[in-house]
Amino acid sequence: MNVALIAHNEKKPIMINFALAYQHVLKEYNLFATGTTGKMISDETGLDVHRFQSGPYGGDQQIGAMIANNEMDMVIFFRDPLTAQPHEPDVSALIRLCDVHQIPLATNLSSAEIFIHGLERGDLDWRKIVKEKKE
Residues annotated as catalytic are 60
Q: How far is Cα of residue 19 from the mean position of the Cα atoms in its chain?
A: 11
Contacting residues for 121 by C-beta, under 8 A, at least 6 apart: none
27: Cα within 13 Å, side-chain hemisphere: 8
Q: Is 46 left (phi over 0), alpha (psi -120 to 50) or beta?
A: left
